[in-house]
Chains A and B, each alone.
Chain A
Amino acid sequence: DQQVKQNSPSLSVQEGRISILNCDYTNSMFDYFLWYKKYPAEGPTFLISISSIKDKNEDGRFTVFLNKSAKHLSLHIVPSQPGDSAVYFCAASASNNDMRFGAGTRLTVKP
């Protein structure tokens, strides 16, 4: 069962514009959410996280928004840079339980 879904397998944006990656989840018990970034032939690396007590967390060009009522989170990258081109995974967990991952979205930032 896919408790975490990333419905867009790919996204293409122009350099300097905003990239918005979306993630939906079904388990209302999830209280911690993360985004990972993955380059080809490498493992995913942690990017940014948010707990359910917040609805926004910002780190430089990266901002994650959480909408608990809609069971939806999004990652905003602004301004987007060519080096941001990678696959982005969202993940969610419920208090000390194992994490569930989405299938990933490939972001391509064109110069």
Chain B
Amino acid sequence: KAGVTQTPRYLIKTRGQQVTLSCSPISGHRSVSWYQQTPGQGLQFLFEYFSETQRNKGNFPGRFSGRQFSNSRSEMNVSTLELGDSALYLCASSLAVGSDIQYFGAGTRLSVL
């Protein structure tokens, strides 16, 4: 069974641009959560989607948004990029919303110049 797939693996953008990251969950998993990992802040929760609806949201500005498609694939969008958005963005899939067991993807490393 294929794991969680995140694309692209690496991305370089400049300030002010916008970016879209993609996450394909494990087949059969309907919940997708997004996290931002930085050396200073650690792992921070962005949002969780289930059945195409955002179910939980972390404390991030509105520049960070996401969506989930009917096939459970999810995208995360960051608009008006700032230098501080440089981070590893991780996606995790699980069978149901709020599930304890989450399977993480390898992440997308975003560098904002």
Residues of A within 8 A of B (CB): 1-2, 9-10, 36, 40-46, 87, 89, 98-101, 103-104, 106
Contact = CB atoms under 8 A, between A and B. Distances in A.
Nearest to A86: B100
19 contacts: A2-B103, A9-B100, A40-B98, A42-B45, A43-B45, A44-B35, A44-B43, A87-B100, A87-B101, A89-B102, A98-B88, A98-B106, A99-B88, A99-B107, A101-B90, A101-B104, A104-B101, A104-B102, A106-B101
B62 interface: no
A78 B7 CA distance: 41
Contacts of A41: 56, 98
A10 B56 CA distance: 23
B35 A103 contact: no
A10 B99 CA distance: 12
A98 B102 CA distance: 18
B13 interface: no
A2 B104 CA distance: 9
